[in-house]
Amino acid sequence: RQCLSELYSANTLVKGHFWADDWKDSYKQFDIKMDVQTPSGTNLMVKEDILKGLHHDKRPFGFATRGKGRYTVCFSARAKPDAMIQSGFTVRVGFTILHQTSEEAKVSSTHVSALHDQLKRIEDDIHTIADNLVYLKYREAKMRDTSESTGERALYFPILTVCVLFILGMWQSFHLSSFLQEKKIV
């Protein structure tokens, strides 16, 4: 008797398959039985003579768990009464969890879904903040350029003002000197 055990949650549909290695005709000399036991030790499923009609193909089986725990799949071989055992063969088994329908799986799925939604929202917020930072850098560069060009123009304005005032002062002194000469005050 060879057994495999696996821990499953409640209401999980487990799908599996088995096949025989070194098959030949030696399987006809054995009665192979497969049984699935629940965590409490009761038989969930029993199949007799499971290799009957097997030709190198994988033979499927499946069961649904009733409660959470360790489920055991056992294979046992018994020689038929008139068998002359000359060789043996190996039964190989593969398991797949088809889907989970337990409350724990639903709660876990809901929790993961909520976390996924929250992470998505945080990721969107991070992208929005990054976009705002890029925009603010662009605005800062534009404002700096505007400030520099305004500073250059502001530098030329006092120079122009001094020149205009100097010219006006010269004109006024020339005009005053000519006025005084005309009146013969000087």
Element spanning 37, H or E: strand 30-37
pLDDT bracket for residue 186 (50, 70, 90): low
User: pLDDT value at position 25?
Assistant: 59
Query: CA 33 to CA 54: how far, in whole Å?
Result: 14
Q: Reduced to 3 DSSP states, what percent helix, strand and coil does the chain have, rounded to the nearest 5?
A: 45, 30, 25
**pLDDT tens for each residue of 67-78:** 888 888 887 877
User: pLDDT value at position 143?
Assistant: 96
**Cβ atoms 92, 2 nearer than 8 A:** no
**pLDDT tens for each residue of 99-151:** 455 555 555 566 677 888 888 999 999 999 999 999 999 999 999 999 999 98
**Cβ atoms 64, 16 nearer than 8 A:** no
- Parallel, antiparallel, or unpaired for β 69-79 and 90-100? unpaired
User: Quick one: what percent of the chain has pLDDT higher than 70?
Assistant: 70
65 vs 57, which has greater pLDDT?
Answer: 65
Q: Which of 23, 5, 4, 17 minimizes the C-alpha distance to 90? A: 23
Burial grade of 12 (CB within 10 A; 0-12, 13-18, 19 or more):
buried
Q: What is the pTM of this model?
A: 0.45
